[in-house]
DNA sequence: GTAAGCTATGAATCTCACA
DNA sequence: GTGTGAGATTCATAGCTTA
């Protein structure tokens, strides 16, 4: 397979923010070594599905039976994993890191090979789906999570970890290794011309938001060797990171290009992450940003409409040179000892002012069903 | 190493409900094949990699010579894993299944070897710790979970899965692959003579409760090749399962024996399984049983004291031949279309009637510190 | 116009006894 | 071994239709 897109610009430098079409192993081998800060990879899971599956109402489940997920067996899948992980390691900078997402079908083989190649595991992170598909036949547990492995290139790598930014996203409490986020549905889910899903396994932007905020910096180069419809590129562009996408399927590339063209990066102020210590409990305000309920850079208005502040990507606010939580910034602007930011701040939708507390109520309503 | 305990009784049958001292690989090889229904294994991952573990003849060593030390460590661990999993598979009945618990240090290697040997993965299950140790250095995410793999002996195995019992434990909703349970602390944590913890990684009984209720039946033989201080045996005994424990360390065996001697099995009826507070998180009634707040077999009293029902191990009730959730049984007894079982049922403590809702409030208060 | 009800769908290794 | 028929089996959410 040939690469239709140039991997270098006219000056010989790595060409950024574009999609390279072709086999990711070949293309990564053609890229300059030690040129990438972070890799996010969503490789084929090697699902081994038997017959059709129907819901109790007799509707048929749309299975992931695409040709790119077919392997002849574990040996073939292991060889594939070995090759792409080795090629990926070569293009990583010495202090670079990688994320790989998978399910029980493939993640153990990926993790073993990561360790074999000298990657250094930092965490395994559980994406707990708030709305997974149930087990229709009642023969197993609801498969309600996927596993991500976060590993640095080597044991000694000084990897990027924005501890305070993640703590801020979690409203002042240390971020844990289990992340509760909804699957990608609704308006975020890309559709093809026929109205069907453009890609069978599109990941939610909230997941990539947290990954990139936590383990990369603005200006970094983020590589996704299984680009699909470009969630990694989309979030990277929003957050001021550079991306390189590699994808084989023409249809996915076209969908990704259309998607990326619509993305507008947040401005630098919104992307800057908190470095100060803070503390608060309960529903993290940052979840509103992660879930796309509020956009980084979006303006909030005080209860009397006298002050404004802007939302930042890590869930902190900035207004009149004051940075901090929704509560801290509100208190500072009012000259008050304290302030309930949830009732103090409002956002504008369709010309009307709405309290951000409405968004918190919305999340709480979702959580009611699945508190665990 | 010699086995100090007999693996057969005088009649030549498998000796049950005792601890066999020695190396689990040797002992499992001496047990009759196809004699065990379920295995629960908590293998070590911090093996001292001395010369006593035979190195496998693995030809991939050259490919990773720049990480020789790591790989030789992994190779030794892989050989150990290969041997004990093979010995375990031999003693499993054709329809038997295995649980293995681990962390990112070892679970990927265990999972890969399980697949290589022909075990068939059913679920990977996340134990989400509600009170994990924080990461003090702030260089990684709080490691707040452990991973369990549930696999049948073979692809075609007709494994045990008590779907309704688990659904009942989860208050009528299908049990998911992520389980929120506290770590083992307080009175449940075994102490040695010096008052220190008797075992470094004692698992909570609530975890084993859910495993055994969900994937074994009363009378089954449950084998734990890394018995430690005997959590598997203790819960098996409570729930009317037979256990075989294998453990090398004399101190752990002694602690486990003392522990097991104190356990009283629940009776058969209790073990049998079934086939505005709105904004507050939902607490499954089954958690009260799992956490030991209510005992299987304990009697509950209706609000007017006209009816009684007994608690069963899966969190269901039985009263007047009616079996089901606290709400269902209450509704049936009252002849009402619905009933709030939380306010309907009371239990007796020191002669006084107490609403079970008080227990729910207690759990909710604990959860408030860790809302996520 | 609003509320209630109905339909669609998501990375899924998803039945079993008997002839 | 394979084929067949009876029987068991779903949660959260988005979006559309009906009352």
Summarize pLDDT for A104-132 with one digit per residue, the tens. Answer: 999 999 999 999 999 999 999 999 999 99
Is the minimum CB–CB distance between B66 and chain A shorter than 8 Å? yes
Residue B89 makes CB contacts below 8 A (sequence gap 6+) with B98, B117, B118, B119, B153
In strand D, the nucleotides that come within 7 Å of a protein beta carbon are: 8-15
Residue with structure tokens 């207690």?
B362
Among A109, A116, A284, select the one facing B64 at the smallest CB separation: A116
Is B139 in Cβ contact with A178 (below 8 Å)? no
A368 strand D contact, CB < 7 Å: no
Closest residue by Cα to residue B170 from B314, B370, B346: B314
A51: nearest nucleotide, CA–C1' criterion: C14
pLDDT of residue B315: 84
pLDDT of residue B326: 86
pLDDT of residue A275: 39
Is A368 a residue whose pLDDT tops 50? no
pLDDT of residue B277: 39
B137 strand C contact, CB < 7 Å: no
DSSP state of B276: -
Q: What's the residue count for chain A?
A: 372
Is A105 in Cβ contact with B138 (below 8 Å)? no
Residue of B nearest to A116 (CA): B71
Q: Consecutive 10-residue runs of chain B (372 residues): their mean pLDDT?
A: 62 87 97 97 71 37 41 86 98 97 97 98 95 88 97 96 88 91 90 93 93 94 98 95 97 97 85 55 81 90 84 86 81 69 84 82 64 40
Is B141 in Cβ contact with A123 (below 8 Å)? yes
Is A75 a residue whose pLDDT tops 80? yes
Is the minimum CB–CB distance between A217 and chain B shorter than 8 Å? no
What is the band of A272 on the pLDDT scale with cuts at 50, 70, 90? low
**CA distance linking residue A309 with residue A297, whole number of Å:** 9
A55: nearest nucleotide, CA–C1' criterion: D10
Q: Which two tokens stand for residue A343?
A: 């009732």
Mean pLDDT of A320-335: 86
User: For A253-267, what is each residue's pLDDT tens digit?
Assistant: 999 999 999 999 987
Edge-to-edge order in the sheet of strand B346-349: B322-324, B317-319, B308-311, B299-301, B346-349, B352-355
B163: nearest nucleotide, CA–C1' criterion: D9
Q: How many CA atoms lie within 13 A of B27 on its CB side?
A: 26
pLDDT of residue B276: 32
Report the 3 state secondary structure along chain A: CCCCCCCECCCCCECCCEEEECCHHHHHHHCCCCCEEEEEECCCCCCCCCCCCECCCCCECCCCCCHHHCCCCHHHHHHHHHHHHHHHHHHEEEEEEEEEEECCCCHHHHHHHHHHCCCEEEEEEEEEECCCCCCCCCCCCECCEEEEEEEECCCCCCCCCCHHHHHHHCCCCCCECEEEECCCCHHHCCECCCCCECCCCCCCHHHHHHHHHHHCCCCCEEEECCCCCCHHHHHHHHCCCEEEEEECCHHHHHHHHHHHHHCCCCCHHHHCCCCCCCCCCCCCCHHHHHCCCCCCCCEEECCCCCCEEEECCCCCEEECCEEECHHHHHHHHHCCCCCCHHHHCEEEECCEEEEHHHHHHHHHHHHHHCCC
Distance in angstroms, CA of A50 to C1' of D1? 18
Highest mean pLDDT out of A11-25, A32-46, A303-317, B276-290: A32-46
Share of chain A above pLDDT 70, in %: 92
pLDDT of residue B5: 62
Q: How far is A10 from chain B (nearest CA, A)?
A: 36
What does DSSP say about strands A92-102 and B18-21: parallel, antiparallel, or unpaired?
Answer: unpaired
């Amino acid at each position: 397979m040939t690469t239709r897109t140039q991997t270098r610009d006219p000056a010989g430098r790595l060409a950024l923010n574009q999609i390279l079409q072709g086999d990711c192993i070949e293309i990564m081998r053609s890229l300059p070594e030690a040129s990438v800060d972070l890799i996010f990879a969503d490789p084929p899971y090697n699902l081994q599905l038997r017959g059709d599956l129907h819901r109790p109402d007799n509707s048929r489940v749309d299975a992931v039976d695409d040709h790119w997920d077919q392997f002849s067996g574990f040996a073939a899948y292991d060889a594939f994993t070995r090759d792409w992980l080795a090629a990926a390691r070569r293009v990583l900078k010495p202090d670079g890191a990688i994320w790989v997402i998978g399910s029980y079908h493939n993640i153990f083989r990926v993790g073993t090979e990561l360790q074999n190649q000298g990657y250094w595991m930092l965490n395994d992170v559980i994406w707990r789906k708030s709305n997974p598909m149930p087990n229709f036949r009642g023969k197993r547990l609801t498969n309600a999570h996927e596993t991500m492995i976060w590993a640095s290139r080597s044991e000694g790598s000084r990897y990027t970890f924005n501890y305070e930014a993640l703590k801020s996203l979690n409203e002042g409490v240390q971020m844990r290794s289990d992340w509760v986020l909804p699957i990608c549905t609704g308006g975020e889910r890309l559709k093809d011309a026929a109205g069907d899903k453009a890609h069978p396994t599109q990941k939610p932007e909230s997941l990539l938001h947290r990954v990139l905020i936590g383990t990369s910096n603005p200006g970094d180069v983020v590589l996704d060797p299984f680009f699909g419809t470009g969630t990694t590129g989309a979030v990277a562009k929003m957050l001021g990171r550079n991306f390189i996408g590699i994808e084989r399927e023409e249809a996915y590339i076209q969908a990704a290009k259309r998607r990326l063209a619509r993305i507008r990066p947040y401005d630098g102020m919104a992307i800057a992450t908190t470095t100060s210590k803070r503390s608060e409990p309960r529903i993290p305000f940052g979840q509103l940003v992660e879930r796309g309920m509020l956009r980084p850079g979006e303006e909030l208005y005080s209860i009397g409409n006298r002050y404004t502040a802007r939302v930042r990507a890590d869930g902190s606010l900035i207004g009149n040179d004051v940075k901090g939580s929704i509560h801290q910034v509100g208190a500072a602007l009012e000259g008050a000892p304290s302030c309930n930011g949830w009732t103090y701040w409002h956002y504008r939708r369709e010309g009307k002012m709405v309290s951000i507390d409405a968004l918190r109520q919305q999340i709480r309503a979702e959580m009611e069903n699945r508190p665990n």
